[in-house]
Amino acid sequence: MGPGNDDVEDELGDDEFDDDEEELVHTSVWVEVNGLSLYTHHGVSAAEREFGQRLILDIRLELGEADATVTDRLEDTVDYARVCEVAALVATQRSDKTLERLCAAIADRLLRDFNVQAVYVKAAKPEPPIPLPVDDVSVEVLRELAEPDD
41-62 per-position pLDDT tens digit: 887 877 777 888 899 999 999 9
Euclidean distance between CA atoms 78 and 81, whole angstroms: 9
Average pLDDT estimate for 105-122: 97
Cβ contact 59:83 at 8 Å: yes
N-term to C-term CA, the chain: 55
Beta pairing class for 53-64 and 137-144: unpaired
Give the H or E element holding residue 125. strand 118-125
Catalytic-residue membership of 97: no
What pTM does this model have?
0.80
Euclidean distance between CA atoms 140 and 120, whole angstroms: 7
Sequence-ordered list of residues with C-beta below 8 angstroms from that of 37, at least 6 positions apart, any chain = 54, 55, 56, 57
Sequence-ordered list of residues with C-beta below 8 angstroms from that of 85, at least 6 positions apart, any chain = none
Q: What is the mean pLDDT of the chain?
A: 86
Most trustworthy range by pLDDT among 9-18, 29-38, 44-53, 92-101: 29-38
pLDDT tens digits along 54-102: 999 999 999 988 888 899 998 899 999 999 999 999 999 988 889 999 9
Catalytic residue among 78, 104, 125, 141: 125
